[in-house]
DNA sequence: GCCAACGTTGGC
DNA sequence: GCCAACGTTGGC
């Protein structure tokens, strides 16, 4: 084990669920963009996941929230490690925060790359109805965190459900 | 549109 | 450090 190997060698990807309101940024928007910064996160826990725990190649379950059929609609991947969210110090952005400056960034983001859109969305209703998913964060009452770690077994099952015609 | 649950703010 | 008030999230 060399000093550089901890981060630079291939590792088991981690799995994440990332929420977006489709009226704001949908999986179709990501498909068109191919790769996009996940900006605007203004929650410390979600920031910490992006800044401290996400690695290039991690798998993202793209979740549509606050819409008619909330649920996982496709797959993306983390395209690079976190960097300062410059929209925070832009007073004209959607989520300005004057506490964050280029010298002392408060908020961070990662780039996310489009991978695939599910043939059939795996809706929150489906997840809640299946005991296999019972301890996923997203099905817990009152869970609002917009970026959540997901167990590999849950991610694998959701992806296989979603890909099924 | 309603509203419960949550995270943050700020007075004390 | 407590906690009430407030703004936000997000399912329904």
CA-CA-CA-CA dihedral for A47, A51, A55, A57, to nearest 10: 40
Q: Confirm whether A113 is domain-assigned.
A: yes
Name A148's bridge partners.
A17
Of residues A58 and A7, more confidence is placed in A58
| Full residue range of the structural domain in which residue A152 is found | 12-163
**Coil, helix or strand at residue A152:** helix
Dist CA A47 CA A77 (whole Å) = 17
Number of domains comprising chain A = 1
CA-to-C1' span, A4 to C8 (A): 42
Q: Confirm whether A126 is domain-assigned.
A: yes
Position A88 scores a pLDDT of 95
Dist CA A68 CA A127 (whole Å) = 16
Is the CB of A143 within 7 Å of strand B?
yes
Q: Confirm whether A23 is domain-assigned.
A: yes
Confidence of residue A2 (pLDDT cuts 50, 70, 90): very low
CA-to-C1' span, A104 to C2 (A): 30
**pTM for the model:** 0.93
- Mean pLDDT on A42-48: 96
CA A18 to chain centre: 3
């Amino acid at each position: 084990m060399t000093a550089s190997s901890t981060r630079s060698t291939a590792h088991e990807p981690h799995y994440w669920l990332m929420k977006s309101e489709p009226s704001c940024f949908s999986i179709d928007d990501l498909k068109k963009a191919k790769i996009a910064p996940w900006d605007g996160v203004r929650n410390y826990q979600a920031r910490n996941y992006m800044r401290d725990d996400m690695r290039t190649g991690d798998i993202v379950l793209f979740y549509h929230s606050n819409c008619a059929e909330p649920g996982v609609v496709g797959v993306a991947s983390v395209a690079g490690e976190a960097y300062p969210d410059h929209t925070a110090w832009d007073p004209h952005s959607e989520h300005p925060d004057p506490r964050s400056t280029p010298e002392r960034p408060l908020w961070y983001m990662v780039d996310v790359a489009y991978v695939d859109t599910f043939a059939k969305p795996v809706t929150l209703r489906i997840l809640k109805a299946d005991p296999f998913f019972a301890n996923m964060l997203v099905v817990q009452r009152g869970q609002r965190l917009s970026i959540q770690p997901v167990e590999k077994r849950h991610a694998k099952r959701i992806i296989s459900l979603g890909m099924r015609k």
